[in-house]
Amino acid sequence: MLDSGTGWRTGGRPEVDRWRLYVRGTILGYKRSKSNQYPNTSLIQIEGVTTKEEVAWYAGKRMAYIYKDKVKKNSSHYRCIWGKVTRPHGNSGVIRAKFKSNLPPKSMGDRVRVFMYPSNI
Amino acid sequence: MAAKRKTPVKTRNPDLIRGVGKYSRSKMYHKRGLWAIKAKNGGAFPRHDPKPKAPAAAEKPPKFYPAEDVKKPLLNKRKPKPTKLRASITPGTVLILLAGRFMGKRVVFLKQLTSGLLLVTGPFKINGVPLRRVNQSYVIATSTKVDISGVIVDKFDDKYFAKEVEKRKKKTEGEFFEAEKEDKKKLPEDKKEDQKAVDASLIKSIEGVPDLKAYLAARFSLKSGMKPHELVF
């Protein structure tokens, strides 16, 4: 994991290709029963997490759903909805998450970033 | 009251059962040494007369009484303590910053400030992180430790990092339309000196350990297949 070289590319970008300090997650949908869904809680599948016990590490971690829009807000096309991991969902590593405002339905299947903070290590 | 004790006294009269002490009243009189206090005072228990109070200034009756009783807010005597430092974070620990401008950088922990924030330095020469405050929750503590004994950190506290209050100049009509003179915020020289002083001894101890300098210069990043919940930092 040691970088050789200066660490920076020309143009100010860091040399490493990926600068990820978040874990990738997929938005599966809303918390639901067969015929009713509850959009205030979303279900997220975090990469590499397959059991309920592994989810314990992620409890409380903050997440961000980042999306683009045509209209510029705060001088950027990118927008963000913040949320956090609340609890595991089932036995297989899916988690429930609550966001500041409910995730839009178009986000199903999209990427979500699960950060490593607030950290407890 | 007599002078306060540093450690609270264990009760001299242990309970046999709740409500029943081991020693009788007369035994306790003897144990507490009341006989000695009396003897010192010539046979009677010492009596402290209340000091004569200074005469209170004559109070005028208030001109205005509120229609209903005004409630006094309860006194708040709470003194906030700095956040509890995690056991894994000790002076000299290498921390990984998780968010902010320097996210991913590996950084040396110096001390916890009274506000609870952690004082941290790159060192600046190695990875460009200056003396900075960081919240404990936005940091991962690694098991790598740096020898920090040569570093003097006493002069740094939260006030050192406070923002400088800028004096607002009153603008006249004409000046509004003039081009604003932007003063470039230069880092004051004494802060640069402080950084160098702290880093000097740090860099020496870092260079003593093989690979540590390159380790601090490199940034942390999650790669494909890395699962944070399985990583040991």
Q: How high is the ipTM of this complex?
A: 0.79
Partners of A99 in the β-ladder:
A83
Q: What is the pLDDT of residue B6?
A: 66
The C-alpha atoms of residue A86 and residue A65 are separated, in whole angstroms, by: 15
Please give the residue of chain A at the shortest CA–CA distance from B100: A21
Who among A16, A22, A49 is closest to B219 (CB)?
A16
pLDDT band of residue A15 (cuts 50, 70, 90) is low
User: Which of B193, B142, B203, B133 has the alpha carbon at shortest distance from B163?
Assistant: B133
The C-alpha atoms of residue B104 and residue B96 are separated, in whole angstroms, by: 6
Partners of A26 in the β-ladder:
A45, A111
Range of the domain at A46: 22-115
Alpha-carbon B221 to chain mean position: 31
pLDDT band of residue A2 (cuts 50, 70, 90) is very low
What is the residue extent of each domain of chain B? 93-162+190-230
Partners of B222 in the β-ladder:
A20
Whole-Å CA distances, B57 to B53, B54, B64: 12, 9, 20
Rounded to two decimals, the pTM is 0.69
Q: What is the pLDDT of residue B77?
A: 82
- If one counts the domains in chain A, the total is 1
Q: What is the pLDDT of residue B4?
A: 61
Interface test with A, best of B90, B129, B139, B227 (most A CBs within 10 A): B227
The C-alpha atoms of residue A116 and residue B99 are separated, in whole angstroms, by: 9
**Does residue A7 form part of some domain?**
no
Q: What is the pLDDT of residue B73?
A: 84
The C-alpha atoms of residue B71 and residue A88 are separated, in whole angstroms, by: 47
Residue with tokens 């961000």: A64
Give every CB contact of residue B184 below 8 A, 6+ residues apart in sequence: none
Portion of chain B with pLDDT greater than 70, in percent: 87
**3 state DSSP class of A98:** strand
- Do B127 and B217 form a contact (C-beta atoms < 8 A)? yes
Who among A2, A57, A121 is closest to B233 (CB)?
A121
**Does residue A44 form part of some domain?**
yes
Task: Convert the pLDDT of each residue in A42-61 to its tens digit.
Answer: 999 999 999 999 999 999 99
Q: Å from A33 to nearest chain B CA?
A: 30
Domain at A64, CATH number: 2.40.10.190
- Do B202 and B149 form a contact (C-beta atoms < 8 A)? no
Task: Tell whether A119 lies on the interface with B, counting CB pairs under 8 A.
Answer: yes
**Does residue A73 form part of some domain?**
yes
- How many residues are there in chain B? 233
Who among B98, B141, B220 is closest to A115 (CB)?
B98
- Do B205 and B108 form a contact (C-beta atoms < 8 A)? no
Q: Point out the residues of chain B with pLDDT beneath 70.
A: 1-6, 166-186
Q: Å from B150 to nearest chain A CA?
A: 27
Question: What is the arithmetic mean of pLDDT over A71-80?
Answer: 89
Angle at B225 between CA B224 and CA B228, to 5 degrees: 105
